[in-house]
């Protein structure tokens, strides 16, 4: 390649002169594509948790659908490569994805207009297939999810991450430096201990924090409407205050939400009222307010 002569690594690079391309140049080209695509997206919400089992994917799906109900154009990116659950939570059965004239993947579109990309939508009919990948391959897949998908103009791109603070999270922060983080926890101490590490990770990477959500905050009795503090209550709000994070709200355990998830329908789209539905809508409005506040601060 013509660029090889000016590259300081040309003498030791196994790809030097290879028409297939120089890895460094290919990476730079992909970085440009990512930057171009992200310029059409106002807010990139990165939904994180310190541990698994806190309902992070359910939060991501219901926040995304709540944003749609508020009139925003929204995309949902599931980067939990080993345990993608977003398509099941949304009732997406058809795994057929199409390519547009620019050779970009067209996201699956839900009936409410939400655009979705997940590893699960790329596996074809064999959704039970295990993904046995190391870090570099996972990072490459996530970068492709951003650079090779026709997201178009979005108000919000909601990103559902795996639990912890690993390769996927670093790839997102490196590829999307203006990602805004929403942390999900449950009230009990075992979850809060891991979330503290997640908050520390956000601080170390100098990422933007939108705030913290306390999920599974009490069980709402389907008979009397009373509340049982099954996993305690208020731990997330205390942690948010201690770490100077905005507390975005609490989502209760709700039988209607369980039924909705099993049926592939987000609880915020179910007919009638439910405590979880009301809570998700309130939390989403708080997220929008914080994102607008962050945008105003950045514009100064």
CA distance 72 to 226: 34
DSSP 40: T
For position 12, what pLDDT does the model report? 44
Angle at 112 between CA 111 and CA 118, to 5 degrees: 75
Q: What pLDDT is recorded for position 98?
A: 84
Task: Report pLDDT for 265.
Answer: 92
CA distance linking residue 54 with residue 45, whole number of Å: 18
In contact, 236 and 247? CB cutoff 8 Å = yes
CB atoms within 10 A of CB 46: 26
Per-residue pLDDT at 123: 62
CA distance 202 to 3: 37
Distance in angstroms (rounded) separating the CA atoms of residues 236 and 22 = 47
Report the 10 Å Cβ neighbour count for 53.
11
Instruction: Record the tokens describing residue 167, joined without a space.
Output: 């390769």
How many residues in the chain?
Answer: 300
* pLDDT value of position 221: 78
d(CA 256, CA 276): 8
Please give the model's pTM, rounded to 2 decimal places.
Answer: 0.86
Segments of the chain with pLDDT less than 50:
1-12, 19
* DSSP track, 144-182: HHHHSB---SEEEEEEE--SSSSHHHHHHHHH-TT-EEE
Q: How far apart are CA 144 and CA 35, in angstroms?
A: 12
Task: Report the pLDDT value the prediction gives residue 131, as an integer from 0 to 100.
Answer: 66
């Amino acid at each position: 390649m013509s660029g090889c002569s000016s590259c300081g690594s040309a003498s030791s690079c196994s790809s030097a002169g290879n028409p297939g391309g120089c890895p460094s140049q290919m990476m730079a080209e992909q970085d440009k594509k990512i930057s171009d695509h992200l310029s059409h997206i106002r807010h990139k919400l990165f939904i994180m948790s310190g541990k698994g089992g806190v309902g992070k994917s359910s939060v991501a799906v219901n926040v995304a659908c709540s944003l749609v109900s508020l009139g925003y154009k929204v995309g949902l990116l599931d980067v939990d490569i080993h345990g993608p659950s977003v398509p099941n939570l949304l009732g997406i059965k058809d795994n057929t994805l199409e390519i547009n004239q620019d050779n970009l993947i067209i996201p699956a579109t839900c009936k409410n207009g939400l655009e979705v990309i997940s590893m699960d939508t790329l596996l074809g009919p064999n959704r039970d297939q295990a993904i046995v990948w190391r870090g570099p391959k996972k990072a490459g897949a996530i970068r492709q999810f951003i650079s090779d998908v026709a997201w178009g103009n979005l108000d919000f791109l909601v990103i559902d991450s795996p639990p912890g603070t690993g390769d996927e999270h670093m790839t997102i922060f490196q590829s999307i430096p203006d990602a805004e983080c929403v942390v999900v926890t449950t009230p009990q101490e075992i979850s809060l201990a891991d979330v503290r590490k997640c908050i520390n990770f956000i601080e170390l990477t100098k990422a933007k924090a939108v705030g913290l959500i306390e999920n599974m905050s009490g069980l709402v009795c389907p008979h009397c409407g009373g509340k049982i503090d099954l996993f305690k209550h208020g731990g997330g709000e205390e942690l948010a205050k201690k770490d100077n994070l905005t507390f975005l709200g609490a989502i209760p355990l709700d039988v209607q939400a369980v039924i909705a998830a099993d049926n592939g329908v987000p609880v915020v789209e179910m007919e009638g009222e439910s405590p979880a539905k009301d809570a998700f809508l309130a939390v989403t409005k708080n997220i929008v307010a914080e994102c607008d506040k962050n945008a105003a601060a950045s514009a100064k």
